[in-house]
Structure 1
Amino acid sequence: MAVLSRLIQAPAAVRIGPGVAAELPGILADQRISASGRLAVAISEGSGTQLREQLAGDLPADVGWFTVSRASLDAAVDLADRVRADKAPYDTLVAIGGGKVIDAAKYAAARLGMPLVAVATNLAHDGVCSPVATLENDAGTGSYGVPNPIGVVIDLDLIRQAPPRFVRSGIGEALSNLCALADWELSHRETGEPIDGLAAAMARTAAEAILHHPGTIDDAGFLGVLANGLVLSGQAMAVAGTSRPSSGACHEISHAIDQLFPKQAAQHGEQCGVGAVFATHLRGEHALAAEMAAVLTRHELPVTPGDLGLDIDQFADAVTYAPHTRPGRFTILEHLDLSRSRIDDAVKGYVATYAR
């Protein structure tokens, strides 16, 4: 009997746990990752200085350090240009920081044709192990396909040093997979879009682990579950070859908020969490929506537009505009194709249900 299988792009090394940043030199010495040991390291302009002092002793003395100012297309291109212009022949790019640094470095590494090792210092979203770089551009924010990181290191001791809001944001991001998967199933039924069952299983495992875990971000066990879940969520996108397993109406709404109200935009995961509960409520899955809202509330995350600093009209504007952020993607928003008056009613009903 023939054995059927497929090749999956995955990191050569994944390390999650307390103190694992100390293992970074050994990971980077793996010749599958860095053949020459010549490393370019990207850090943020702010907290990156402290991280450099904290980790420099564990890295080779001839490491090249490069700062990243923001998660923008221009900043990512600039990073690539500076690494290329340096006289040192680097063969691996290491990104140490939050999502902004890692996303800019992912794009820069792709531009340079280098492998990337992502060392996460917060758990704000699932980009640490995804084949997508989310970057600001002249039109707002865009998602760019890039190779998956070849190595992922999440030191839970470093994670504990991050502002709690940046860690909680990852909870909303992981939980929103439930909305994304429901939208994918809906598209499969209505449009015939194929579903990758393995990718869906990975994304669902990540979400349900958070949905049912009784711990908080103060618990090492919960942090480990969240970190593993975000890695699984990002890897699900690599398996599927699309962001579908982790991005549905929830992300459309978040991107719409970013574009329409950039000065009021909250953390990506915070907005995705609210968008996911709203879309689940809109779908008529009220028991699941209530369960998701309870998890967000327990972790001190936003649940209603007001919690995000938006009024009802602003959130309705975002829901109305949301389908334009991902043309061609079919979610509950495209399926219902509600008029503005019905969207207004839906948002009011949602707020009335979940206002604290």
Structure 2
Amino acid sequence: MPVLTRLIPSPVVVDISSGALDDLAGLLADQRISNAGRLSIAISRGSGQALRERLAPLLPDADWYPVADGTIDSAVQLADDIKGKRYDAVVGLGGGKIIDVAKYAAARVGLPMVAVATNLAHDGLCSPVSILDNDNGRGSYGVPTPIAMVIDLDYVREAPDRFVRSGIGDAISNISAIADWELSRDVTGEKVDGLAAAMGRTAGEAVLHHPGTVADDEFLTVLAESLVLSGIAMSISGDSRPSSGACHEISHAFDLLYPKRAASHGEQVGIGAAFAMHLRGARDASGHFADVLRRHGLPVLPDDIGFSTDEFVKAVEYAPQTRPGRFTILEHLDLTTDQIRDAYADYAKTIRS
């Protein structure tokens, strides 16, 4: 009987360490991604300039492209700017917005993309998706997985703690997202990719149960690894299912209904995940989620991020419209406005007790 295997789309190299950026040129040469150092490097127009000043001497043959924002227009502009210039790869150097812009631009011009993250705000660092703002709000665009993933813990430590805490919320939300995926399998017959689910769940559990804090290098390493594994899980499944369920629908609803007031992605999905676990009757898990979020300084109630109960209820009611065709606990229960309000009151009471 033949042995059947499948290829897993993933970076050829993942480097999570202190000082990783100092040897970026050597890493790319050793992996035969860029022997000549002909790189197109996307950076932000703010903090990216300091990175350029530090790294330009180490990458003398690279060209630097400041990116205005995380919009589809900026991504298209970057692609137009680098097209036809014989680069070996596109490097996204910075936070999630810069990396998403670089992923999209690299896909558009057919070049490999290297993700170099300076913070751990969300799990899109290594995913096959670019989240970009557009005229209708925010869109998800399929792209190839980065060919290399570099995370320098020295830069992560220098980033505001809020960016690291946001990644915590995104990582543990995997557990709720996979529960939604398995619910859909049981109710609608949707296929669950067991490997993707195992990888995504393991990533979430590693962060949920780790005793460290954002001040510990060991915890930062586990968080970084978990966010990378989440991205690879999405590549395996071919969509965001391992990391996106009711938790993300609620977050997207916040973004769409209150665009000028929305909190960070990880803060919103953390609350969404804890509430979704409560909705499915997993009160112990919901309470554990809330305890972990609190321990890391993350919000657990909407008023912690400036939203009233009425606004949260409206977001939960609207949430299924953000991902048509995706089945989660929200679509399964199909709660009325009053039922959502009652469920939230019970959730708030439970996690306060």
Query: What TM-score results when the alignment is normalised by the length of structure 2?
Result: 0.97
The answer to whether the Cα contact below 8 Å between 1:124 and 1:168 also exists between their aligned partners in 2 is yes
Amino acid at match of 1:43: I
Match of 1:228 in 2: 225
Q: Residues 31 and 214 (structure 1 numbering): CA distance in 2 closer, same or farther, change over 3 Å?
A: closer
Match of 2:167 in 1: 170
Query: 1:30, 1:113 → 2: CA distance?
Result: 22
Match of 1:7 in 2: 7
Amino acid at match of 1:74: D
**Offset of 1:57 from its aligned partner?**
2.5
Query: 2:32, 2:335 → 1: CA distance?
Result: 51
Amino acid at match of 2:190: E
**Offset of 1:197 from its aligned partner?**
0.8
Match of 1:41 in 2: 41
Query: 1:17, 1:62 → 2: CA distance?
Result: 25
The answer to whether the Cα contact below 8 Å between 2:25 and 2:37 also exists between their aligned partners in 1 is no
Match of 1:131 in 2: 128
Match of 1:74 in 2: 73
The answer to whether the Cα contact below 8 Å between 1:97 and 1:119 also exists between their aligned partners in 2 is yes
The answer to whether the Cα contact below 8 Å between 1:304 and 1:355 also exists between their aligned partners in 2 is no
Q: Residues 304 and 355 (structure 1 numbering): CA distance in 2 closer, same or farther, change over 3 Å?
A: farther
Taking only aligned residues, the RMSD between alpha carbons, in angstroms, comes to 1.3
**Offset of 1:31 from its aligned partner?**
5.8
Q: Find the residue that maps to 1:176 and give its secondary structure.
A: helix
Query: 2:211, 2:31 → 1: CA distance?
Result: 40
Pair 1:109 & 2:106 matched = yes
Match of 2:272 in 1: 275
Pair 1:213 & 2:214 matched = no
Query: 1:169, 1:355 → 2: CA distance?
Result: 22
Query: 2:123, 2:295 → 1: CA distance?
Result: 21
Match of 2:27 in 1: 27
Q: Find the residue that maps to 2:83 and give its secondary structure.
A: helix
**Offset of 1:159 from its aligned partner?**
0.4
Q: What do the CA deviations read for 1:306-356 (whole angstroms, capped 9, x no partner)?
A: 112110011111101111111100000000011111112222222233359
Q: Find the residue that maps to 1:215 and give its secondary structure.
A: coil
How is 1:283-302 mapped onto 2 (pairs within 5 angstroms)? 283-302=280-299
Amino acid at match of 1:218: A
Q: What do the CA deviations read for 1:241-280 (whole angstroms, capped 9, x no partner)?
A: 1100000000000011000001111110110000000000
**Offset of 1:30 from its aligned partner?**
3.9
**Offset of 1:9 from its aligned partner?**
1.1
Runs (4+) of structure 1 moved beyond 6 Å? none
Q: Find the residue that maps to 1:3 and give its secondary structure.
A: coil
Deviates most, 94-103 or 50-59: 50-59
Q: Residues 82 and 317 (structure 1 numbering): CA distance in 2 closer, same or farther, change over 3 Å?
A: same
The answer to whether the Cα contact below 8 Å between 1:38 and 1:62 also exists between their aligned partners in 2 is yes
Amino acid at match of 1:159: V
Query: 1:350, 1:200 → 2: CA distance?
Result: 26
Pair 1:331 & 2:322 matched = no
Aligned identity (percent) is: 62
Match of 1:241 in 2: 238
Amino acid at match of 2:201: R
The answer to whether the Cα contact below 8 Å between 1:304 and 1:354 also exists between their aligned partners in 2 is no
How is 1:47-66 mapped onto 2 (pairs within 5 angstroms)? 47-59=47-59, 61-66=60-65
Q: Find the residue that maps to 1:15 and give its secondary structure.
A: strand
Q: Find the residue that maps to 2:5 and give its secondary structure.
A: coil
The answer to whether the Cα contact below 8 Å between 1:107 and 1:146 also exists between their aligned partners in 2 is yes
User: Aligned to 2:87, which of 61, 86, 90?
Assistant: 90
Match of 2:255 in 1: 258
Query: 2:80, 2:236 → 1: CA distance?
Result: 30
Amino acid at match of 2:61: D
Match of 2:96 in 1: 99
Query: 1:228, 1:139 → 2: CA distance?
Result: 33
Pair 1:310 & 2:307 matched = yes
Query: 1:308, 1:349 → 2: CA distance?
Result: 19
Unaligned runs of 5+ in 1: none
**Offset of 1:178 from its aligned partner?**
0.6
Amino acid at match of 1:133: S
The answer to whether the Cα contact below 8 Å between 1:72 and 1:135 also exists between their aligned partners in 2 is yes
How many residues in Structure 1 have an aligned counterpart in Structure 2?
353
Unaligned runs of 5+ in 2: none
Query: 1:287, 1:235 → 2: CA distance?
Result: 29
Deviates most, 346-355 or 181-190: 346-355
**Offset of 1:62 from its aligned partner?**
2.1
Match of 1:145 in 2: 142
The answer to whether the Cα contact below 8 Å between 2:37 and 2:61 also exists between their aligned partners in 1 is no
Query: 2:319, 2:199 → 1: CA distance?
Result: 26
Amino acid at match of 1:81: D
Q: Find the residue that maps to 1:11 and give its secondary structure.
A: coil
The answer to whether the Cα contact below 8 Å between 1:121 and 1:154 also exists between their aligned partners in 2 is yes
Amino acid at match of 2:39: L
Match of 1:197 in 2: 194
